[in-house]
Structure 1
Amino acid sequence: MKLSRDLWAGLVLLIIGTVVALYSHNQYRMGTIQSMGPGYMPFVLSIILIILGGVTAVSSQFGVSSEEPERKISWRKVIPVALAVLAFALTITKLGLIVATTLLVFIASLADKRFNLKLTLYLIISFCFISWVVFSYFLQMNMPAFW
């Protein structure tokens, strides 16, 4: 048995999928395909995660063994994206959907080496419009657009 990254990744996916499947099955009403309960989608997605984890773990044992060099984590990309998600989570209820989405897109775009303010502004406008339409009209969520 080769202890590769793919094996560990597959095992992690299997564990997370199993925990979520058991939790959603035991804590929420499942319903049927015609009348889905709150536990139906988490359960189905966790089954898909279990399958993907199993395929990843098994294929890691039969794949070609290539010694690839250790890849370093690019903290210049990870930190802005993590901070963007954190900023969105902290501002969505206080400042509203539009401001939180603006912060999310702007901070996350700082992860790109070729940061372009014009492109970032287009992305901000697009994401704000799309998120506002999806949450306000299609999902009919009572979420303030601004503070």
Structure 2
Amino acid sequence: MKRPEHNRQEIAAALVWAVIGLAAIVIAGNYAFGTIVRMGPGFVPIALGVMLVLLGLIAAWQGRLADKVTLDLRFRPFALIMGAIVIWVLLIDRVGFVVSTFALVAIAAQSEREITLLETVLLAAGVTLVGYLIFIRGIGIPIAVFGS
């Protein structure tokens, strides 16, 4: 009886995430860990690293059981999302949080072919508003709201 082929691409991707998590644990190993109440500088990277390792191993195991799938690479979504991040980084100091975040979401949303202009504007406005409320008003991150 022939063994079914494993989804090697899924297994490889999952193991890459596990290795990244392991690297985070190793790099942050020299930092003070602290406690849950008084977190040290190593707490978050180590905790995230452990989660990445566990999730990577779980996903790799599931990839063993999943059917083989052909990889469908599309350059457009990747380029739009990466470009949107770069544009946000370039704009944040010049035009502030609101405009740069709106641009980020509006550009990244174009990676979805079926999205309408109205949906793009509503999504960008909603994400910008929530980001403003969480990061600027809630946490108090010192970022200019509009321009520098």
Task: Tell me the TM-score range normalised by the shorter chain.
Answer: 0.7 to 0.9
Shift of 1:49: 0.7
Query: Is residue 128 of structure 2 the alignment partner of residue 128 of structure 1?
Result: yes
Query: Is residue 6 of structure 2 the alignment partner of residue 9 of structure 1?
Result: no
Give a deviation string over 1:45-82, Cα, whole Å, max 9, x none. Answer: 11011111222333444x15x343x2221222221111
Aligned CA RMSD, in angstroms, stands at 2.0
Letter in 1 for 2:60: A
Percent identity, aligned pairs only, is: 25
- For 1:30, the equivalent position in structure 2 comes to 33
Contact residue 33 and residue 40 of structure 2 kept, 8 A? yes
SS in 2 for 1:96: helix
Length-normalised TM-score, structure 2: 0.85
Where do 5+ consecutive residues of structure 2 fail to align? Answer: 1-5
- Partners of 2:129 and 2:116 in 1: CA distance: 20
How many residues are treated as equivalent by the alignment? 143
Contact residue 76 and residue 111 of structure 2 kept, 8 A? yes
- Partners of 2:7 and 2:125 in 1: CA distance: 46
- Partners of 2:91 and 2:26 in 1: CA distance: 32
- Partners of 1:118 and 1:127 in 2: CA distance: 14
Shift of 1:127: 1.6
SS in 1 for 2:39: coil
Contact residue 8 and residue 68 of structure 2 kept, 8 A? no
- For 1:75, the equivalent position in structure 2 comes to 75
Structure 1 residues 67, 23: closer, same or farther in 2, change over 3 A? closer
Letter in 2 for 1:82: M
